[in-house]
Amino acid sequence: MVSSVQLSYAIGVLLAHIGVASSQAISYDYTRSGVDWPGVCQTGKRQSPINLVSGTETFLQDYPPALRPNLDFGTGTNVQVINTGRYFEVVWKTLRPPTATITLGSLFGQPNHVGPGVIGPSGSLIPGNGEDRIPLTPVQWHMHTPSEHSMDGKLSLIEAHLVTSVSNVSVPACGTGCFAVYGVLYDIAPDTTLSNTFLTPFLSDLPEQIGEEYATNFTSDFVLDFADYFPLDTKGFVSYPGSLTTPPCTENVLWTVLLSNPAVSVSQVVTLANAAAATVRPLQCRPVPASELDLEQSLQPIGTYQVCTQQGQRDNDRFPQPTYGRPVFGYS
């Protein structure tokens, strides 16, 4: 088992370097869906998310087992749901050791590469063989509404991201770390009242207040099985080299997106959207003289009233970014 100390360290590294849940480290919002974010977010050529276009992927038919990803991410216990102020993040203090691995070539967007030398994002040669297996450690998963990736120009209602980390011991070229993120897009079920059983426990008790101290804590016997999130037997997914979808938009991320969209109910979408609205921008109140309010004269308005409005922002998605010729690989 991975201990809580080890996992806390892993989460600390993740938060320190990519600002996943640290509003103190980097200030940003979704008012313009990321268009106004600075730095690499503006200038990068390997940014995420992207629009996934059917028929443009390089499908890897009859893919050799030695090169195919192993998506066994294990299970998590002592699970928490944390309100980060921008989205709801699910973490776990104990992790059954995963066996998930990808090849070195896959990590750097070259899944069909074998033999020595993989080309890194900067064009430098990364030592090792393309078919070397690189272990992945799940760190957290969170949800965006609507989706960040689009399929043929169409956004889904929810997108969940499972963030996994790559140790720089395994890949020294990663420096402070590389990440592989596994995205699942959710659409409304044909029966709009049919809830998604995987999401149900997490959406049923979303914390209203921001911070780990206000997290929703699951009972110790609750088991988060990642096979329910990203099915082990799936063959329909695409991958491409990209970036974090939040500042600093670091370009060291392998993206994998499931092609079959699980279903959610209307009520689940509404629950997440309303919670996100209350989270991102809380109730705003200001004093207004009674004379400025349109009140019935019979109320004899005098003095000053506190007028409150909900400035909720229901969206927490970044717009799709240009691909700049990046290859998108499909697995079938």
First vs last Cα of the chain: how many Å apart? 32
Cis amide leading into 327 (omega within 30): no
Tell me the sheet residues that pair with 95: 2, 76
Q: For the chain, which domains are there?
A: 4-281+314-331 (3.10.200.10)
Classify 7 in phi/psi space as left (phi over 0), alpha (psi -120 to 50) or beta.
alpha
Rounded CA separation 281/318 (Å): 17
Report which of 171, 117, 164, 120 is spatially closest to residue 142, judged by C-alpha positions: 164
Q: In tens digits, what is the pLDDT along the chain, a chain of 332 residues?
A: 444 333 433 334 343 334 443 334 567 777 787 888 999 999 999 999 999 998 888 877 677 888 888 889 999 999 999 998 888 999 999 999 889 999 999 998 899 889 998 988 778 889 899 999 999 999 999 999 899 999 999 999 999 999 999 987 778 877 666 899 999 999 998 888 889 999 999 999 899 899 999 999 999 999 999 988 887 666 688 999 999 999 999 888 999 999 888 999 999 999 998 887 765 544 556 676 766 655 554 445 556 666 554 444 557 889 999 999 998 998 87
